[in-house]
Amino acid sequence: MPREERPLFHHVTVLLEEAVDGLSVKPDGIYVDCTLGGAGHSERIAAQLGPSGRLIAFDQDEAAIENARKRLSPYMDRVTLVRSNFRHLMARLLEAGVSTHEGVPQVDGILFDLGVSSPQLDEAERGFGYRHDAPLDMRMDRSAELTASDIVNGWDERKIADILDRYGEERFARRIAKAIVEARSRRPIATTGELAELVKEAIPAAARRTGGHPARRSFQALRIAVNDELGAEEDALHQAVACLKPGGRVAVITFHSLEDRICKQIFTGYVKSCTCPPDFPMCVCGARGVLRLVNRKPIEPGAKEVAANPRARSAKLRIAEKLPPAP
């Protein structure tokens, strides 16, 4: 069994066993890790594959791809690394030569570990964190155009307030947006430290005493907006369902309520139940879902994992399985 973590890339994989076990990996299957990150999940999947198995792993961060080349080197005969946003899942699988059914690539399992990896959070110059003073960037793909600085220094007050409210569920969104616009009228807001201090000052003192760092929600909102994370999640999950073979599974790890809500709603939409009256002796409505839920309630990290890795505390894992088509 591979080691869960190595010093390289400094990333602790969340819900490692639960997520990979939930895929029910077959030695000759084709699997997709849509969020390569530190390659912890990919390494565990690859280790369970035989010579005819295949793993295709996505990440838009070049540093993650380079790290994976080293970490997955014993398995590269069965691993394909793809630098891409996972919202292009279907197109990239076609480019990778995955066999199709009616023009749609077919695989045995797909894993999503959403959110930002620890190296991105810890790398000050990426601008994801409020604990380091760094340029306002927050791009997961460094070749993308939109940055957090563009939003903070260029978008109008109402639009900033809307994203803080929608993506950060920040109840002081309007106060924070007003403070940002007032501050930038004097000079551009250049760093994460400046922004974090602005947010802190905009929130009433009583509200700052609880709930972690006062800038946490605002930084989350900006990161989601910069990378269109929720739009990408929605696009990719629908594609993932289409790309699963009958009996294939999709496992999704989310880290905040917005991500989890989208996952739950999409899974539920593919799980149709019988609408016949309860006194009917057999189903005659013909309702048949595309998926079945492997776990009705999300799987969460245990106390031991959270103690070892506090960033895991908000993680939730949902798993669904593709049903065979109706006869």
With bands split at pLDDT 50, 70 and 90, how would you rate the model's confidence at 1?
Answer: very low
Q: Is the pLDDT of residue 123 over 80?
A: no
Residue 142 confidence (pLDDT): 86
What distance in Å separates the CA atoms of residue 222 and residue 21, rounded to the nearest whole number?
Answer: 33
pLDDT digits (tens, 9 = 90+) for 225-260: 999 999 999 999 999 999 999 999 999 999 999 999
| % residues pLDDT > 90 (the chain) | 80
pLDDT value of residue 23? 98
Q: Which domains occur in the chain, in start order?
A: 8-113+229-322 (3.40.50.150), 125-227 (1.10.150.170)
List alpha helices for 98-228, DSSP H: 118-122, 148-154, 157-168, 173-186, 192-202, 205-208, 216-227
pTM of the model: 0.89
Q: CB under 8 Å to 40, separation ≥6 — which residues?
A: 4, 5, 11, 12, 13, 16
Question: So what's the pLDDT on residue 231?
Answer: 97
Integer Cα distance of 90 and 19 in angstroms:
22
- Count of beta carbons in the 10 Å neighbourhood of residue 171: 13
Q: Which of 277, 240, 282, 232 is nearest to 258 (CA)?
A: 232
Cα(15)–Cα(21) distance, integer angstroms: 10
Give the pLDDT mean for 5-17: 70
